[in-house]
Chains A and B, each alone.
Chain A
């Protein structure tokens, strides 16, 4: 809402500097976004009178003017305009003047003839013909204003209003009007407010012989007022009205359209004016649209109406969509002779639904859908007619139609000053509260406070508390500490995630944050098969773009995007991690049975949706390239993480042999693994498949892992017990084994572990060798086996016998002691 300060002054005299005004209104609840003084980018432009116009000696399209500008002597200005004549009053930009758009005017010579400034067109002053309808678009602005030679152009043409832009919240549609803001201004500064009751004289005439109105849907249109103006004279509205509309951000059009806009801005009541000629049968019916009906709205678009939309119709067809927009063909034209003015109250939800369904918003619908004052339809009709008479725009019939009567009851709320003080933490006297509320138009009835009709937002005690608080000043409310015993601790899950995050950082990971929604292109980028369940996604109906249109079912692509971004920004290496959610659709319908959260005390569901929310499991994703990154570096990091979380007893299987993660298709089949514990897949890790690396434009080997946090939590040992430090020395034996290359070392280790049994302390692999001295297809694997007993020092015999058992077990998996 843009407020003209000049207009405001009609109702309340707030004599404070503009900055102070804006601050005070902001602090009392009407937030000022900014303010702008018209014509502030114009300087040194004055009213001038052309004394003479003579042809330029060196040009056929230039003329040389002598212009009186209120100085001792006239000045000479060369212009190319062809519409100037001696005696014309024009805007003159003097030497050193400024015009909108940062234009500076300096004196100079045009084809050898001195020119000491410039004569201005409307456009050069930032205006157009709608501001001054008598002027022409291309040519000097020949002024017909009452002004003095030498006067600043701003004051001469009224281009000096200040417009304040308010951010009006949706609960205060009453402030989408000059009178509404005047009321707030008066309350804020504790000033008197004067809004005169409008009246008009009218000419004798019986409206019932010219127009009939029937409301067929009183629920959605409780009140409809109409009146008629005959012998209308369509033309521009007067300057003061145009100025105020302009300062309010509304373009002047013609006197009738301007009057409807003026009244809407003044009172917040949308008005509609239309040509009686086009009302067939001179009969207005406020009714629901019929199936298949269409209307071309004022914006020139053909719109199909549905049966739940409210229309203003004549006997045959809709002429307006109620509260939203008028029809193109019933609008005011230059040859209109009789105009019908409509001032009605439409139910907010009705207007909102219609406006939404038609995807059509207007100044009128914006006000109706928030709720206009249900009692001012007639006041505003009168105001419009007062203006018609003031502008001499036609003859107003002295009878009007007031159809239907709003059964409006003002909102009445218990007035409980003690409760208000307890609720706010203040100590404001009852009288003071009453005074504040009085300023805002509230009245008192017994122990109740009655909201004014325009305050459709007042419903409960808390609303009254807010009114008191904002006039008292939020910043005058004290600051207190609240009491009560509180216990706060992290949940098990929160503790676990915190430990995980700390461990990932301790291991050198940089934490990243990525979007939850991604491009569906990632399916193909990570080579998911057509039937992969990961392709079943939660999809957004109205995404910003394809890039952010589906909720990710895997965190891997987000990680790959970030790795790619870093690689392509020439960062040599990266080791990243993210703890974030995946969004996995749940197929079955929602079941409310036993779901306490959805039941009210009666056992009935609060609300029923058949659609299930997706699962949102948390994942730890790790990604790395460059530096020391390789499969084993990643594996080492993952193992350290698992150790820190006290997760053990897991094993690795080749990712390609597992169905747990479809991300396996994005991984190198020979360099990827799934971590399995008790048959539960905890996560995967591996080298990114070369194709996928290429899809993400990463030019070096890249590695990634994903761990499922809920599964990790279930696997984590929650009780940690200390193992006593050994009292007896350990015995170590080294074994170099020869085994087929395909045999994974995990099998050798498993054989050693089970054979050595209880006395085994640690198996450490210290060398894997292939090449010279080893027959092809085989590898040499060297282990150091540390054994220890808690009962005494192991003898050589005990150690040797254990090793013998180990060798036997190793032999069973094809590993022999290297000769």
Chain B
């Protein structure tokens, strides 16, 4: 019997070795270990053994069963692993084939940069104010210390509305929102106002009769010109990185005093001078200044008690600088090949 058991074990191992399918493995289990299997058949003959032989053979039989089971289980794992591997291999695809496009919209670059600026200012506690685009002479000029017959009106290239005796016009600057805000709100005031403005400039690579400005206004007790500098420097460092430098130049706006123009170190050469900045090292960026006492007074705010600063930056210029866009017209043509790039 001993020989028979050994033979079964050898046979089982041999057949297992040859087996290559998980299904066939079950047949082998039944064949060797099943109720009608070969091992069971042998064990049924145990009765014929002497009492001395029984425990020895019994132990051996159990050993053989355990060995076969172990071999079966090992084979099963091996076959499963093989099958999985084969499946994974079979399922291999060309990962360089193109992806299926999912619809993805795009913000207009003007919106993108405007949002960025909004967020920076909201972080500094500025609210967003809106005002009408078609406005009256008082809000766009007169209250801003540009009385009728003021020579600075010539530089404004204003579009006027028909049949209104030149009293209604398209705002030439978002500064008009300053007046609207100060008329309805008392200091402390801290706002920005992004929006469309209109000037009679023929369309070319750097001009458009419609463009966007972002106006800023802060009015409170003790506001200083150095605060204006600090605020603008903070904005530009956040937008253009810590290396950018600002340059403040005296200028004239009727609604601020002192007034300045602010230049930023050239995006291209960083201040060394190149063709983009006409060898200046700086590019003109925005106009700013301390709110003129007359403007405060016009809006019912006592200039002896309060002071403020204001600035107006051209959004198009910032967008163009940001993305190296060399032609303003692209922003208003809206070619999808252009829009898809932002």
Q: Mark A587-612, 1 if CB is under 8 A from B, else 0.
A: 00000000011001100001101010
Q: Mark B189-233, 1 if CB is under 8 A from A, else 0.
A: 010000010101011000001100000001010111111011101
Q: Report yes or no: B161 in contact with A541, Cβ–Cβ below 8 A.
A: yes
Does B331 belong to the interface (CB within 8 Å)? yes
Q: Which of A55-63, A327-335, A563-571, A743-751 touches B?
A: A563-571
From A477, A562, A581, give the contact of B334 (CB < 8 A): A562
Q: Which of B27-35, B56-64, B75-83, B147-155 touches A?
A: B147-155
Assuming the contacts A488-B122, A510-B339, asked whether A423 and B307 have C-beta atoms less than 8 A apart, the reply is yes
* Chain A residues with CB under 8 A of B183: 596-597
Q: Report yes or no: B334 in contact with A422, Cβ–Cβ below 8 A.
A: no
A539 to B161, CA, bound (A): 6
Q: Report yes or no: B106 in contact with A511, Cβ–Cβ below 8 A.
A: yes
Give, as a whole number of angstroms, the nearest-CB distance from A35 to chain B.
12
Q: Report yes or no: B250 in contact with A540, Cβ–Cβ below 8 A.
A: no
Does B317 belong to the interface (CB within 8 Å)? no
Does B249 belong to the interface (CB within 8 Å)? yes
Does B267 belong to the interface (CB within 8 Å)? no
Q: Report yes or no: A511 in contact with B138, Cβ–Cβ below 8 A.
A: no
A596 to B167, CA, bound (A): 20
A394 to B128, CA, bound (A): 68
Does A514 belong to the interface (CB within 8 Å)? yes
Does B13 belong to the interface (CB within 8 Å)? no
Does B38 belong to the interface (CB within 8 Å)? no
Closest B-chain residue to A563, C-beta based? B334
From A477, A513, A515, A541, give the contact of B108 (CB < 8 A): A513
Q: Report yes or no: A474 in contact with B250, Cβ–Cβ below 8 A.
A: yes
Q: Report yes or no: A425 in contact with B133, Cβ–Cβ below 8 A.
A: no
* Chain A residues with CB under 8 A of B290: 423, 462, 465
In A486-538, the 8 Å CB interface with B consists of 486-491, 494, 501, 504-517, 538
How many pairs of A and B residues are in contact by the CB < 8 Å rule? 262
Q: Report yes or no: A601 in contact with B300, Cβ–Cβ below 8 A.
A: yes
Question: Which among A462, A516, A566, A609 has the greatest number of chain B C-beta atoms within 10 A?
Answer: A462
Q: Report yes or no: A516 in contact with B198, Cβ–Cβ below 8 A.
A: yes
A487 to B123, CA, bound (A): 9
Does A765 belong to the interface (CB within 8 Å)? no
Give, as a whole number of angstroms, the nearest-CB distance from A561 to chain B.
9
From DSSP, what is the main secondary structure of chain A's interface residues? loop
Q: Report yes or no: B162 in contact with A539, Cβ–Cβ below 8 A.
A: yes
A329 to B339, CA, bound (A): 62
Does B340 belong to the interface (CB within 8 Å)? yes
A616 to B138, CA, bound (A): 19
* Chain A residues with CB under 8 A of B254: 171
* Chain B residues with CB under 8 A of A539: 161-163
* Chain B residues with CB under 8 A of A601: 300
Q: Which of B42-50, B89-97, B255-263 touches A?
A: B255-263
Q: Report yes or no: A479 in contact with B134, Cβ–Cβ below 8 A.
A: no
From B122, B163, B294, B335, give the contact of A566 (CB < 8 A): B335
* Chain A residues with CB under 8 A of B127: 488-489
Q: Report yes or no: A613 in contact with B132, Cβ–Cβ below 8 A.
A: yes
Assuming the contacts A31-B249, A462-B292, A462-B293, asked whether A508 and B104 have C-beta atoms less than 8 A apart, the reply is yes
Q: Report yes or no: A540 in contact with B106, Cβ–Cβ below 8 A.
A: no
Q: Mark B140-161, 1 if CB is under 8 A from A, else 0.
A: 0011000001111011000111
Give, as a whole number of angstroms, the nearest-CB distance from A609 to chain B.
4
A288 to B218, CA, bound (A): 47
Assuming the contacts A462-B292, A486-B126, asked whether A581 and B225 have C-beta atoms less than 8 A apart, the reply is no
Does B310 belong to the interface (CB within 8 Å)? no
Q: Report yes or no: A511 in contact with B251, Cβ–Cβ below 8 A.
A: no
Does A463 belong to the interface (CB within 8 Å)? yes
Q: Report yes or no: B225 in contact with A583, Cβ–Cβ below 8 A.
A: no
From B165, B229, B331, give the contact of A477 (CB < 8 A): B229
Q: Report yes or no: A509 in contact with B105, Cβ–Cβ below 8 A.
A: yes
Q: Report yes or no: A486 in contact with B133, Cβ–Cβ below 8 A.
A: no
Q: Report yes or no: B339 in contact with A511, Cβ–Cβ below 8 A.
A: yes
* Chain B residues with CB under 8 A of A517: 159, 198, 209-210
From B229, B249, B339, give the contact of A480 (CB < 8 A): B229
Q: Mark A421-440, 1 if CB is under 8 A from B, else 0.
A: 01111100000000000000
Q: Mark A460-484, 1 if CB is under 8 A from B, else 0.
A: 1111011001100011011111111
From A28, A504, A510, A571, give the contact of B250 (CB < 8 A): A28
Assuming the contacts A482-B218, A511-B111, A607-B138, asked whether A170 and B151 have C-beta atoms less than 8 A apart, the reply is yes
Assuming the contacts A486-B188, A487-B125, A515-B210, asked whether A542 and B160 have C-beta atoms less than 8 A apart, the reply is yes
From A506, A562, A596, give the contact of B105 (CB < 8 A): A506
How large, as a class, is the contact surface on chain A?
Answer: 35 or more
Does A574 belong to the interface (CB within 8 Å)? yes
A607 to B144, CA, bound (A): 14
Q: Report yes or no: A510 in contact with B336, Cβ–Cβ below 8 A.
A: yes
Does B276 belong to the interface (CB within 8 Å)? no
A19 to B231, CA, bound (A): 31
A508 to B102, CA, bound (A): 8
Q: Which of A152-160, A302-310, A543-551, A717-725 touches B?
A: A543-551
From A480, A575, A577, give the contact of B226 (CB < 8 A): A480
Give, as a whole number of angstroms, the nearest-CB distance from B178 to chain A.
13
Question: Which among A28, A488, A507, A569 has the greatest number of chain B C-beta atoms within 10 A?
Answer: A488
Does B164 belong to the interface (CB within 8 Å)? yes
* Chain B residues with CB under 8 A of A596: 183-184
* Chain A residues with CB under 8 A of B155: 170
Q: Report yes or no: A477 in contact with B248, Cβ–Cβ below 8 A.
A: yes
Assuming the contacts A352-B151, A613-B134, asked whether A423 and B224 have C-beta atoms less than 8 A apart, the reply is yes
Assuming the contacts A28-B250, A470-B258, A601-B300, asked whether A478 and B229 have C-beta atoms less than 8 A apart, the reply is yes
A512 to B335, CA, bound (A): 9
Does A172 belong to the interface (CB within 8 Å)? yes
Q: Report yes or no: B249 in contact with A27, Cβ–Cβ below 8 A.
A: yes
Closest A-chain residue to B138, C-beta based? A607
A–B Cβ pairs within 8 angstroms, 14 of them: A31-B251, A171-B254, A370-B151, A426-B226, A466-B257, A480-B226, A485-B125, A494-B128, A501-B107, A505-B105, A509-B105, A513-B332, A515-B209, A544-B202
Residues of A at the B interface (CB closer than 8 Å) are 26-29, 31, 169-172, 348-349, 352-353, 369-370, 422-426, 460-463, 465-466, 469-470, 474-475, 477-491, 494, 501, 504-517, 538-544, 548, 551, 562, 565-566, 569, 571, 574-577, 581, 583, 596-597, 600-601, 606-607, 609, 611, 613-614, 616
The 5 closest A-B pairs by CB, nearest first: A486-B125, A425-B226, A508-B103, A466-B258, A29-B250
Residues of B at the A interface (CB closer than 8 Å) are 103-108, 110-111, 121-122, 124-128, 132-138, 142-143, 149-152, 154-155, 159-168, 170, 180, 183-184, 188, 190, 196, 198, 200, 202-203, 209-210, 218, 220, 222-227, 229-231, 233-234, 247-252, 254, 257-261, 290, 292-294, 298, 300, 307, 331-337, 339-340
A470-B258, A511-B111 given; name 10 further pairs at CB < 8 Å.
A171-B254, A466-B257, A480-B227, A482-B218, A482-B230, A490-B122, A501-B107, A514-B334, A541-B166, A609-B136
